[in-house]
Amino acid sequence: MSDLIQQEWQSLAPSGVKVRYFLECGSTNNLATEYAAKGFIEPTWFVASRQTQGRGRRGRAWASEQGNLYCSLLTKLDVPMSDLATLPYLVSLAVRDTFIGLGCAPDAVSCKWPNDVLINEKKASGILIESAAGETSRLDYVVIGIGLNLAHYPDDTLFPATSVVLETGKEATNSTAFRFLADCLNERLSKWTPPTIAGLVEEWTKASWGLGKRREIRTADETFHATLVGLDETGGLKLLLDDGSQRSLYAGDVFGTTRQGGSEVD
Ligand code: BTN
């Protein structure tokens, strides 16, 4: 990679944050984790034009051909591991800011639990947060991996997907999207004050998809229906089950309640 291209990518990041740009890599989350394992934990974005082994949540693959944005922020957050539960909401809101900056109407961009951001009710981004803690259970580092569907989207996903260009008619380059994202996330992280999360929860709730509605919930062990009530104080999703009981969800996926032609719809 030429120095000039590295410098151009570096100029897109907020001051104090490094950028390492790659034409191709396996996974930007893997790169970030490898750097962290070597003790290199200054705030750094790893960005790639394409990934050959992009990873999604729950062991899924993340299709990563050229045209979309693939990036991971490696940083040290001085918080206990337990505070990480609400980080996905902060990152989702930064992704939402980014889509709005790229020309999406604010009403069209919603946050689906736990950390998907939708444009017109279709998934347009993915977030994969990975971390390591030392003996004190304070965080050693966190890797915040983000994929934005700018130019294309997969058509074989569990939940319907879309791209910025399809929804807005506006083309966005990965560099323009990265500049918005790096700024928005930097701004939000600099103001993040866990465990006080009321403001964050309120903002996420206002932008959320499906609250108050009955949805299909899939976890590793079960599939059931429940009404989405809202976030609890630890970052779980409060559910009202059909038998009137309540529980919180900490891992899983939420879908629409009806299937049509293989898609999940409202
Ligand atoms: C999801 O399943 O919704 C999360 C997808 C996360 C994809 C991003 S792309 C950049 C980073 N590198 C990866 O391998 N995954 C994340």
DSSP state of 14: P
Distance from Cα 241 to the centre of ligand 1, integer Å? 31
Is 256 a pocket residue for ligand 1 (Cβ < 6 Å)? no
Q: How many CA atoms lie within 13 A of 89 on its CB side?
A: 28
Give CA–CA dist 123/55, Å, rounded: 16
Structure tokens at 50: 């394409």
pLDDT along the chain (266 residues), means of 10: 91 97 98 92 95 95 97 91 89 98 97 96 97 75 97 93 97 97 96 85 95 95 96 91 95 76 38
Distance from Cα 27 to the centre of ligand 1, integer Å? 8
CB-count burial class (<10 Å; 0-12, 13-18, 19+) for 178: buried
pLDDT at position 234 is 83
Q: Return all residues near 190 (Cβ < 8 A) that are at least 6 apart.
A: none
- At which residue do the structure tokens 């996926």 appear? 253
262: left (phi over 0), alpha (psi -120 to 50) or beta: left
pTM of the entire structure? 0.93
Closest ligand 1 atom, residue 64 Cα = 9
